[in-house]
Structure 1
Amino acid sequence: MVPYFTPRAFKLSNLLIKPLKGLFSHDMRVTQVDILRPAGSSVSGDLRLCVYRPLLQPTAQPGMLWIHGGGFALGAPETETGFIRKFVVERGCTVVAPDYCLSTQAPYPAALEDCYLALVWTQQHATELNIRSNQLMVGGDSAGGGLTAAVAIRAQDRGQVAIAYQMPLYPMLDDRMTTASMQDNDAPVWNYKSNDNGWKLYLGDLFGTDQVPADAAPAREQDFRGLPPAFTFVGSIESFRDATVTYMQKLYAAGVPTECHVLKGCYHGFDIIAPNSPQAQYAHRLMMASFDYATRHYFAEQPGR
């Protein structure tokens, strides 16, 4: 039998990840900020943000909200330092990474509320973080990629924050699981059964209904006009391939600048599992080249400015 994530496996994995929280690298300035969730949020209490900055940052740089993956059910900002370091150390970018509410604690919209709250906080603190206010970006991998797309949709709908660029890497977008690449997929890391359990936890009572909103499962979005320019890559044998390609095609058809790469023979999260492989290194070169292009060409003035 091909291994897959069950609700119990998600919880056990988070126990293994817990000791990583608060462990940071010497080559970045890292601070933790606790912000109070507003009244009416799905969960109460504080939201922990990890703020990563370069050791030296003489001029303002783009700011990136980076959202960790884990099927909405596991993970933490500290598990994403491989991605974060590329933006902070190699490019001088400031990254804000939310320790958002996992679906094992509360279903949608808790995680999205936390990620959007982190985006608003980043906008409000752009000056003190030495972030260009017209270059707020959002990125993430897997479920974090899905939340990236969802945050962009919510920001577009609310008109409160302008996002200049989005990077939803091999994103978790579609709860319906009807694409050819998803059906009976038994590729490594994340297969059909893991995906089914992940969506059931995340959507709760909404799962299997037609009431799922687009900011819960962005593949359901109907109007892509005005969304931020987007970059992604995805493996050719992984379950999210078709949903990712279709989503990017719809962005492109709506006039949104897009860049989508399908990497032959690659499975879900291949770049994390085998970071030194030629495929992973190639994917990350594409990612950073797109980021560099975005810093030169994509700007979005904040409302009221």
Structure 2
Amino acid sequence: MASIAARPNIGTPTMQNTKAVRYYEYGDPSVMKLEEVPRPRPKPGEVLVRVRATGVHPMDWKTRAGYLKDFMPVELPHVPGWEFAGSVEEVGEAVSGFKPGDTVFGRGSGTYAEYAVAPAATLAHKPDALSFEQAAPLGLTGVTAWQAVEAAELQPGQRVLVQGGAGGVGSLVVQLARQRHAHVIATTSPENVDYVRALGADEVLDYIAAPFEKRVAGLDAVIDTVGGDVLERSWGVLKTGGVLITIAAMPDQAIAEAHGVRVRGLAQLESTTRILEQLGDLAASGAINVPVAATFPLHKVAEAHAASQTGHGRGRRVLIIEF
């Protein structure tokens, strides 16, 4: 797929202009344009970050394609992106703990850009041992995986099935569940079996070779990152009283009750700094690996989205922003 061309700015560029990816309508990857935009300014409680890397999350392309517009509409033109890493450029009023020059990572909005703002409460200092491209996916992908494992309340020795063990969230769920000394079973495609096993999974199920529900039963927990038919087939592999965590659909209490199990979604957190700090420490120490499937320069965002839409890959795709 060809690189996207920069869209000229209407008006005279100023020192306060910067570049960002935007789209003016829902559609395929070609609707995204790299153009000059006014540099954002931090409000009270916010931090302006010079972005060095940003994760390409499935939510990004699903939003761009219009799949989520009925329940999560965005104002057009829209700058995509939720997770990033970079350096602090400016802090808003009432912000403590961050200063210009600090390297940070976390969750913001409009992160497919040279500059983005984020609440200070969703940022953490980046460990020196982590590269920007490693840190960026922890901002949303890592926090999601952390929340999913916490929601499952895994105890040592409990058996948990991770649906989609090679994906961005799934790769981290496998590792975080092992940190809790759970017995981790993960589903994946044939080409990723060895990869998921190397992440620490005790058992890896090739979902092409045989249906997972024919191979496991009586599980303490299922953490679903796939949704759809995979989610529907997951209810039956839990033991009575087991718990299903899904990040791919709304939790259905009625179905859970019919199967004699529990279901939980993930809460929207106002502050994620504590989680980010713990994830950063684990990644910096080598206790967990942050898999990056591929990196793309910002002007090749269309290619990054097309790759993400395949649903295949090991970890998260990352856009690199160079100045």
Task: Report if TM-score (shorter chain) is over 0.5.
Answer: no
TM-score of the aligned structures, taking structure 2 as reference length: 0.26
Higher radius of gyration, 1 or 2: 2
Structure-1-length-normalised TM-score = 0.27
Greater helix content = 1
Whichever structure has more strand as a proportion of its residues is: 2
